[in-house]
């Protein structure tokens, strides 16, 4: 069609886009950059636009979590869109341009974490069996909006989404990361910022490594010196720090509000110099070692033959379990090179009983498979497949954290400014190109609870340094946990990840600009 007059051209453009977005507005929902990749997307070729008349509707009688989610979405969208979205719970019906969050009954395919997103040119509805599914659905909504939505300052819009239906649910129920706050301490605000970043990618577990040789990071009221002394330093001799029980509980709630479960880890019998340095009586020779600020491992052990040690473990596990609604307590168990194997086995067997007595299931690094695992125990495969296979032979489930793919503290390459490389150099494609269900033939899909990407903190001491190692590998780990392996392909994924570069840039995330990703960045 040849148009002479600019007025006619403008009218034609408006007709093309339904009188709202620009002519270039995408109208194909299937052309999205959602991470993790959703199960199914059906496009219907029109556009839905949020306007200043839009609001977020929740039907009366919905659980309080839905109001939290509605406000979470409004707080996310309002600063950048300026639309002043309100959360409406008074029974008024949603109209044109409104968002509806709702719970459905018995959409079995969606499970507890899945959602259905139905977008027409008049409305956008997120529905799920459980609030967690609705929360995951709004992350997808945010990712369908222009990347400027991630800004915390007013942007121009238009705030348009292509129409269609998305049905989505996770491959694995456990999609986690681990933060080592013992080698270097990261305060509550750092952890909460991290939790909000995890929510963007539908991660649902944060495992906190709360104790090690270099530091004890959680207040234990019956053993106050653990933090008064053991929390006072860190790798390199810095001031360390610790969470009071109030701060820990606040982190647990902050995470739970975002449908993320905290799993606390007290690493034992090895990796215990901070505890041993805090209480002479915990040491076999009655002498407390000096605080340790190096990065060696395997030199420390609790006195596995002393009854005081088991009182200590019971007190610690009891206090932390009482603050932790999640079903798991992580007992560590790795690198106990200074513990005789028969003493180690006896210790792990007793600690499993203690943890069970406080109503928690045990997770431990793969070495715990040498013990007699209690029902429900989970073996976290990190270094030795033979240990994990031993766990499977005892009927235990496996949490996949293979160090050569999932260790976020590994350098990307020899030029990486932070990280280690004892396991491997892990570029962004290496972090993505693995299938938990086929990595170890003897560990099959039904043995696996999920995946977790640990970030050890020997070489990082600030939030920005941590972000450099975490991003952009984290979205890939999230997809490994959420999306079926047969749907995943690096060459397709890297183009979606590239568009997330703009989002990470706007959120001021200090991500590594891997040369393997065709980034679309502003001003770089």
Q: By CB under 6 A, name the binding residues for ligand IFG.
A: 297, 334-335, 365, 382, 407, 409, 420, 456
CB of 164 or CB of 391, closer to ligand IFG: 391
Assigned token pair, 110:
């969606």
CB of 347 or CB of 382, closer to ligand IFG: 382
How far is the C-alpha of 512 from the C-alpha of 524, rounded, in Å?
Answer: 13
CB of 319 or CB of 334, closer to ligand IFG: 334
How far is the C-alpha of 453 from the C-alpha of 80, rounded, in Å?
Answer: 31
- CA angle, 264 then 266 then 272, to 5°: 155
CB of 22 to ligand IFG, least distance (A): 48
Which letter does DSSP use for residue 231 in this model? T
CB of 420 to ligand IFG, least distance (A): 5
Place of tokens 């995943």: 488
For residues 266 and 230, the answer to whether their CB atoms sit within 8 Å is no
CB of 331 to ligand IFG, least distance (A): 12
CB of 483 to ligand IFG, least distance (A): 26
Which letter does DSSP use for residue 147 in this model? G
Residue 366 has, within 13 A of its CA and on its CB side, a CA count of 19
CB of 334 or CB of 452, closer to ligand IFG: 334
10 Å Cβ neighbour count for 341?
10
Active-site pick, 25, 148, 247, 335: 335
Within its chain, how far is the Cα of 339 from the centroid?
33
What is the per-residue DSSP string for 269-287? Answer: SSS-HHHHHH-GGGSTTS-
Sorted by sequence, the CB contacts under 8 Å of residue 448 that are 6+ apart come out as 172, 397, 398, 399, 400, 436, 437
CB of 295 or CB of 323, closer to ligand IFG: 295
CB of 45 or CB of 294, closer to ligand IFG: 294
CB of 271 to ligand IFG, least distance (A): 6
Assigned token pair, 81:
């869109």
Strand order in the sheet with 123-128: 40-50, 159-168, 115-119, 123-128, 98-103, 56-58, 87-88
The residue among 383, 424, 176, 398 whose CA lies nearest residue 298 is: 383
CB of 128 to ligand IFG, least distance (A): 35
Concerning whether 281 is annotated as a catalytic residue, the answer is: no
CB of 131 or CB of 230, closer to ligand IFG: 230
10 Å Cβ neighbour count for 267?
26
How far is the C-alpha of 28 from the C-alpha of 39, rounded, in Å?
Answer: 17
How far is the C-alpha of 51 from the C-alpha of 48, rounded, in Å?
Answer: 10
CB of 198 to ligand IFG, least distance (A): 20
CB of 382 or CB of 512, closer to ligand IFG: 382
Assigned token pair, 129:
């069996």
Distances (CA, A) of 143 to 106, 140, 325: 27, 5, 30
3-state SS of the chain: helix, strand, coil percent to 5? 35, 20, 45
CB of 379 to ligand IFG, least distance (A): 12
- Positions annotated as catalytic residues are 335
């Amino acid at each position: 069609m040849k148009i002479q007059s600019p007025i006619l051209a403008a009218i034609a453009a408006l007709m093309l886009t339904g009188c709202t977005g620009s002519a270039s507005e995408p109208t194909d929902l299937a052309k999205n950059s959602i991470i993790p990749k959703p199960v199914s997307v059906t496009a219907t070729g029109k556009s839905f636009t949020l306007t200043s008349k839009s609001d977020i509707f929740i039907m009366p009688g919905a659980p309080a979590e839905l109001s939290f989610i509605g406000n979470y979405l409004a707080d996310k969208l309002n600063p950048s869109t300026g639309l002043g979205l309100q959360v409406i719970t008074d029974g008024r019906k949603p109209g044109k341009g409104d968002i509806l969050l709702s719970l459905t009954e018995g959409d079995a395919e969606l499970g507890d974490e899945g959602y259905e997103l139905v977008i027409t040119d008049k409305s956008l509805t997120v529905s799920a069996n459980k609030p967690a599914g609705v929360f995951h659905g709004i992350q997808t909504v945010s990712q369908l909006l222009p990347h400027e939505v991630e800004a915390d300052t007013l942007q121009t819009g238009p705030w348009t989404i292509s129409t269609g239906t998305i049905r989505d649910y996770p491959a694995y129920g456990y999609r986690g990361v681990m933060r080592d706050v013992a080698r270097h301490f990261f305060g509550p605000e750092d952890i909460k910022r991290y939790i909000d970043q995890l929510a963007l990618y539908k991660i649902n577990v944060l495992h906190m490594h709360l104790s090690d040789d270099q530091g004890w990071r959680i207040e234990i009221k019956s053993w106050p010196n653990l933090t008064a002394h053991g929390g006072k330093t860190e790798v390199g001799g810095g001031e360390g720090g610790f969470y009071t029980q109030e701060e820990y509980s606040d982190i647990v709630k902050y995470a739970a509000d975002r449908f993320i479960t905290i799993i606390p880890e007290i690493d034992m019998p090895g990796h215990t110099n901070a505890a041993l340095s805090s209480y002479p009586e915990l040491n076999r020779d009655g002498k407390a070692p000096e605080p340790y600020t190096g990065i060696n491992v395997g030199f420390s052990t609790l006195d596995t033959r002393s009854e005081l040690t088991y009182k200590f473990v019971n007190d610690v596990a009891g206090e932390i379990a009482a603050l932790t609604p999640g079903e798991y307590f992580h007992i560590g168990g790795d690198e106990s090179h200074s513990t005789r194997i028969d003493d180690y086995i006896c210790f792990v067997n007793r600690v499993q009983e203690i943890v069970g007595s406080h109503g928690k299931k045990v997770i431990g690094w793969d070495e715990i498979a040498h013990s007699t695992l209690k029902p429900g125990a989970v073996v976290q495969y990190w270094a030795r497949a033979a240990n994990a296979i031993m766990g499977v032979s005892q009927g235990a489930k496996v949490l996949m954290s293979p160090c050569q793919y999932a260790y976020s503290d590994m350098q990307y390459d020899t030029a990486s400014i932070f990280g280690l490389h004892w396991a491997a150099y892990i570029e962004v494609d290496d972090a993505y190109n693995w299938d938990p269900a086929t990595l170890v033939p003897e560990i099959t899909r039904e043995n696996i609870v999920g995946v977790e990407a640990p970030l050890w903190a020997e070489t990082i001491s600030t939030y920005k340094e941590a972000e450099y190692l975490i991003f952009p590998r984290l979205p890939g780990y999230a997809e490994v946990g959420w999306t079926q392996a047969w749907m995943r392909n690096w060459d397709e994924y890297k183009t979606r990840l590239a568009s997330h570069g703009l989002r990470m840039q706007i959120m001021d995330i200090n991500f590594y600009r891997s040369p393997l990703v065709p980034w679309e960045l502003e001003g770089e």
